Amino acid sequence: MSTAAVPRPVRVARASLSHHHAPWVVAGLLALVYVLWQPAAGDLPAQTYRTWLFEHEGPSLFDTAWYGGHHLPGYSLLFPPLASLLGVQLVGGLSAVASAWLFARIAEETLDDDVWLGSLWFGVASASTLLAGRLTFALGIAFALGAVLLAVRRRPAWATAAAVGTAVASPVAALFLAMVLGAWWLVQRDRRDLLLVAVVGAAPVMAINLFFPEGGGQPMETGTFLRTLGTTVAIALLLPRERRVLRAVTWVYALAILASFVIVSPMGSNVTRLGTLFAGPVLACALLPHRRVLLAVLALPLVQWQWQAPVLDWHRAHDDPLVQARAYEPVLRFLDRQRSLEGPFRVEVPFTQNHVEADLVARRHPLARGWQRQLDTKWNGLFYEDGELEPAEYRRWLDENAVRYVALPEGRLDQTAKAERRLLQHGDVPGLRKVLDEGRWTVWRVEGPTATALATGAGARVTVLDHDRVELDAPAAGDVLVRVRFTPYWRVRTGDACVSRDAGDQQWTRVRVRRPGPVTLVTTFSPGRVGATGERCP
């Protein structure tokens, strides 16, 4: 992320005026194309859904529409309000332009050599993040580069503010920033301000993880790990010895790659983002003009590494009918009609390739899954196991998650959904009754003696399952198991009841009804409830 060697006072860039402006101008043109074009991408629904949620629900701690319920702040605190104000794609485009300008300034102010090619390369590369739909990350990178530039200029107070901005924009970008600043400090121990900025910038990420835990692991394939680690080590060896800060950052990054592969964590394969985005531009800044031939040899594989995934994502999405809202109209009409007859229920939609169901369906009906790979591996590990999915195992999963309907689209599915599709199409799952076969959608109703309701016990039933609110009708006193994930911040707003975490490993919510009648649960943050699992009573 940083192209700093041994930073020194700001100097006037020797690059020509055209070289000085070219990176952000190119980034701006590409961003404009992106904003006008608005291509679909696999990661985009996670951001469009959260933006929609902010627009309709306001700032929220919790959302019941994905994974039976999960905390929201850990993804991004800043992106949803900004995107609701300016538009999802526009926030991404502006972030890319800002990043291109900041990268060029950092390169010009820290390196003696000609950095125009590396800066221009980064200006073009900023569009790769847009094409991949990683707009939250793009926003975080803009703040992170701002923090680095301010650190170069020895403005620790402003650098700290930018680091905090990074953390609330993108926790992934914030951890990268802390790594870069920490490596820089290892080379220049007298720059204690670097360590301070790194620690303060990482602190919000740690606090959010403490207050609003998520967990889970992001898978990282062995081939991805070997390629990323090998490329990083090669770059570390090729960097000129005088680029001590760059070399330190690269070696620390190599350790981070190794740790992300060995240790199951939410970072996982996300660690590759730093290398794919910055490796080529940084190497170009460091090698020109003295090692042109070497750079020419390395440029093609680095460009291919940088653009392969975004281009493949675009290619898979551009002609996929399941990225269009109209493709979901038949199933949404059916589900809306059933809700008016039955009340709220949970739906399983096997992962589509571009995950648009996690946005469009979740706006109106709670999903058993969503689009956050870390949570999917945490709660739905059966879809990631080797071999075929067993009918009995799948049926147990449907019952445990209180799934009422399974809706299978015709079209391209995520790799983890293909075994589920085969199982459904072969009709091997006991107790599934086909209730809709219309165009691109087939829907089954989950029936049989093991079918599970959203609430069980004391004759209670769920009457409202909103994004951050659950309403129960409890005709008798007693314990009620509500199949919505527990958060310490559930509280009883109406009714005479107490709420706590169920003892099971699924972390469902238990409500102890003390007096029959309606009970309403809502989420309210309270510092005293951080990490709590015990009862909370009015």
The DSSP secondary structure of 163-179, one letter per residue, reads HHHHHHH-HHHHHHHHH
5 in any annotated domain: no
- For residue 524, report the phi and psi dihedrals to the nearest 5 degrees: -140, 125
Residues 394 and 464 in one domain: no
Q: In the structure encoding, which two tokens stand for residue 340, read together?
A: 């008016």
510 in any annotated domain: yes
**What pLDDT does residue 376 have?**
97
Residue whose structure tokens are 């998650």: 401
**What pLDDT does residue 13 have?**
41
**Domain residue limits at 463:** 455-529
* Mean per-residue pLDDT, 392-417: 96
Query: Residue 438: how many CB atoms within 10 A of its CB?
Result: 11
**What is the distance between the alpha carbons of residues 296 and 353, in angstroms, rounded to a whole number?**
36
Residues 429 and 498 in one domain: no
538 in any annotated domain: no
Residues 436 and 464 in one domain: no
Beta strands in 418-489 (DSSP E): 432-438, 441-446, 455-456, 461-465, 469-474, 478-485
Residues 130 and 226 in one domain: yes
Residues 306 and 331 in one domain: no
221 in any annotated domain: yes
Residues 294 and 335 in one domain: no
* Mean per-residue pLDDT, 308-318: 91
pLDDT at 8 over 70: no
- Write the CA distances from 503 to 317, 402, 523, integer angstroms: 42, 17, 20
Residues 33 and 133 in one domain: yes
* Mean per-residue pLDDT, 107-116: 86
Q: In the structure encoding, which two tokens stand for residue 295, read together?
A: 């750079």
509 in any annotated domain: yes
Residues 496 and 433 in one domain: no
**What pLDDT does residue 18 have?**
56
What b/e readout covers 229-261, taking b as 16+ CB neighbours within 10 angstroms?
Answer: bebbeebbebbeeebbbbbbbbbbbbebbeebb
**What is the distance between the alpha carbons of residues 232 and 248, in angstroms, rounded to a whole number?**
12
Determine whether 16 is exposed, middle or buried from the number of CB atoms within 10 Å of its CB (0-12, 13-18, 19+).
Answer: exposed
**For 473-518, how does the pLDDT look when each residue is reduced to its tens digit (9 = 90+)?**
999 999 999 999 999 999 999 999 999 999 988 899 999 999 999 9
Domain boundary among 296, 318, 340: 318
Domain boundary among 266, 295, 318: 318
| pLDDT category of residue 19 using cuts at 50, 70 and 90 | low
**For 333-380, how does the pLDDT look when each residue is reduced to its tens digit (9 = 90+)?**
999 999 999 999 999 999 999 999 999 999 999 999 999 999 999 999
Mean pLDDT, the chain, rounded, equals 94
Task: Give 71's strand partners.
Answer: 62
Q: How many domains does the chain have?
A: 3
**What pLDDT does residue 131 have?**
96
**What pLDDT does residue 246 have?**
96
Task: Give 522's strand partners.
Answer: 469, 491
**What pLDDT does residue 128 have?**
97
Query: Residue 439: how many CB atoms within 10 A of its CB?
Result: 12
pLDDT at 50 over 80: yes
Q: Give the closest residue to 174 by CA, choosing from 190, 191, 197, 154.
A: 197
Q: Give the closest residue to 509 by CA, choosing from 447, 444, 460.
A: 460
Q: Measured on CA atoms in the order 302, 306, 311, 317, is the torsion positive or negative?
A: positive
Residue whose structure tokens are 């049989």: 448
* Mean per-residue pLDDT, 23-31: 96
| pLDDT category of residue 5 using cuts at 50, 70 and 90 | very low
Query: Residue 284: how many CB atoms within 10 A of its CB?
Result: 24
Going by their DSSP bridges, the two strands 490-494 and 455-456 should be labelled as unpaired
**What is the distance between the alpha carbons of residues 68 and 86, in angstroms, rounded to a whole number?**
30
pLDDT at 9 over 60: no
Residue whose structure tokens are 């007859």: 341
263 in any annotated domain: yes
